[in-house]
Structure 1
């Protein structure tokens, strides 16, 4: 899958950097492998509403705690929850531990909304696994938004706390 990610970003003219490393099974471990490199270490959560009629890919700083009740209110939902592993695989073609914006390449229905922490400035460098946990990709928030728009994915900036 990472080849598809790199080809898509290259085709779009998006500048990125990749660091290869041993498999990382947590954000803490991934951070160890890229110590000394500039960029916000992110966590990406795949969430759904109670009826599984709305899907959200939420990206924030790995150190932030997310209040799902507050986030649900901000999204106009009564309640949101983590999507099941099956739904994650069906919608984004990925598994827990490597969830990132690049799973949107596999999302055929284009009904997943990308929610970005509004603390991210457009020129900030953010990090993601390119759908494999043996590499970390660095890119700007502006380019991440351009990637999503290119795929026809709605992007919403929200306060994530």
Structure 2
């Protein structure tokens, strides 16, 4: 059973990581979430759940307006081949989320380390990073260094790479 937002918040609290969450109507795309920018400061994210031909899975987290070239990003992230989007069943199995809710916080559900988390260098220049707390009806804000600490505490060593054009 996937962990809930409340379990995510308790995990962050156990690590003494400050976080703030704002509930809002469900958003499925970056354009739908644009209206929240004035209410929630910091870097807003777009998350891509992708896989290569050897079934290595990745979550690539970038600034919401950044573009990722799916034809070449495999060379940067260490995939064995060009990547394609992972299917919803694996997304739910590994991250505990459904399409429209992919988030770096899904690492909490990836207890078997099936997914490599990639954070874009440009995004990591932001002091505060925003992501969905395992569902797309809220946004959780966390410090960039605390995001790294969170990922490491879940057993993931994130790759901070230049993945945007």
SS in 1 for 2:116: strand
What is the aligned partner in structure 2 of residue 81 from structure 1? Answer: 84
Q: Is the 8 A contact 1:122 1:140 kept in 2?
A: no
Q: Which runs of 4+ in 1 moved over 6 A?
A: none
SS in 2 for 1:68: coil
Choose from 98, 107, 110 the match for 2:113: 110
Q: 1:133 to 1:90 in 2, by over 3 A?
A: same
Aligned residues: CA RMSD: 1.5
What is the aligned partner in structure 2 of residue 63 from structure 1? Answer: 65
CA distance in 2, matches of 1:25, 1:144: 22
TM superposition shift of 1:28:
2.1
CA distance in 2, matches of 1:109, 1:99: 18
Structure 1: 5+ residue stretches without partners: none
TM superposition shift of 1:30:
2.2
Aligned residues: 160
What is the aligned partner in structure 2 of residue 15 from structure 1? Answer: 18
Q: Is the 8 A contact 2:120 2:161 kept in 1?
A: yes
CA distance in 2, matches of 1:49, 1:55: 7
Q: Is the 8 A contact 2:24 2:138 kept in 1?
A: yes
Give the TM-score normalised by the residue count of structure 1.
0.92
Q: 1:8 to 1:122 in 2, by over 3 A?
A: farther
